Amino acid sequence: MTRIAILGAGNWGTTMALVLQRGGHDVSLWEFDSVQAARVAETRVNEKFLPGHLIPGSFAITADVSRALKDADLCLLAVPLQSCRSVLRAMNRLAPGTLVVSLMKGIEQTSLKRASEMCAEELETFPPQSFSVLSGPTIAVEIAAGLPASAVIASISRETAARVQSEFSGESFRLYTSDDLIGVELAGAMKNVIALAAGMCDGMNLGANAKGALLTRGLTEITRLGVALGGNARTFSGLSGMGDLFTTCSSPASRNRSVGEALGRGENPLAILSRMTMVAEGVWTARAARDLSLRHQIAMPITEAVCRILDGDISPRRVLSELMTRDLKAED
């Protein structure tokens, strides 16, 4: 039986715990808040993030990182990416042979680094071939309910990707492997930025034509940045690219789309974020992506517009007018 530690007991971490437990694995779930950990351990329900789903009593819930990681074969990172470094430092040295699977989607705002780069910096002697990232159209509440879903597991090591694929796949959850770690990480991060813009379309009632155009041009921006940073263009038309983008921009359960919708209705960005119980990574990734685009001289007008709206510099309707009246050009 494979021993799996999941660091992060939000809706996605809790969902993956349920999926892996159904697959017969020995699971430990780490929650940083000791009070919340004790509550979930007692009630066996994560009412804060995944209400209505009973957590089996066969796996441990703890606020002790060392306890969660003890004898783990696989370590899943399911924490908000912007706070990942503190968790990685708490992990310190992993046991030899432990595989790390990132469930995070984002770009660190301060360093402009991806999760794989952060792990390489913070985990001493950790071999990069032991790292992988899981990404794709994965709305947590649907997967927790046992609805069918497919995603991608990417690693520079084919053996690592195949091992995780085998451990995670089941009747309702199917993984495909990829060796394009950079592309899969960036696709998962950037789709959250476009989802903010898609939500604004919904909030302003702009219709299906506008949203279809936005998703198409948004995918162009994602691909443009991803290829410039070393990703494979084909990745962005697959599950972790177009598949995740479409799902996140259309699902009512998408946090980033919901934040965008509130912005489109004219709500204040700070007020929206202050009432959220879960993280909308696109808010921070948008600024990191904009900085990367400036560094690499890549045109990303949608991303730039999202940042200006989040910063309170301009209204969504004014941005729409500016985007629609940009200089005419050929489609690229």
- Count of alpha carbons within 13 Å of 292, Cβ hemisphere only? 28
pTM: 0.94
**pLDDT 10s digits, 44-95:** 888 877 887 878 777 788 999 988 998 899 999 999 999 999 999 988 778 8
Model pLDDT, residue 95: 84
- Least confident interval from 46-60, 65-79, 129-143, 173-187: 46-60
Q: Any catalytic annotation for residue 191?
A: yes
pLDDT, residue 252, reads: 93
Residue ranges of the domains in the chain?
3-179, 182-324
Who has greater pLDDT, 58 or 184? 184
Q: Which of 7-11, 204-208, 270-274 has the highest mean pLDDT?
A: 204-208
- The answer on pLDDT for 273 being more than 80 is no
pLDDT for the residue 133: 98
The answer to whether residue 277 scores a pLDDT higher than 70 is: no
What pLDDT, on the 0 to 100 scale, is given for residue 20?
A: 92
Q: Of 27, 32, 14, which is closest to residue 72 (Cα–Cα)?
A: 27
Q: Using DSSP, state whether 313 is helix, strand or coil.
A: coil
Is 120's pLDDT higher than 80? Answer: yes
pLDDT at 197: 97
Fold of 182-324: N-(1-d-carboxylethyl)-l-norvaline Dehydrogenase; domain 2 (1.10.1040)
Question: Is the model more confident about 126 or about 176?
Answer: 176
Q: What pLDDT score does 166 carry?
A: 95
Q: Which two tokens stand for residue 95?
A: 């046991």
Torsional sign, CA 285, 291, 295, 296 = positive
User: So what's the pLDDT on residue 249?
Assistant: 97
From 3.40.50.300, 3.40.50.2300, 3.30.360.10, 3.40.50.720, which CATH number describes the 3-179 domain? 3.40.50.720
Q: What is the pLDDT of residue 203?
A: 97
Res. 193 pLDDT band, cuts 50 70 90: very high
Write the DSSP assignment of 126-184 as a string of letters.
--GGGEEEEESS--HHHHHTT--EEEEEE-S-HHHHHHHHHHH--SSEEEEEES-HHHH
Name the catalytic one among 48, 70, 113, 191.
Answer: 191
Query: Rounded mean pLDDT of the chain?
Result: 92
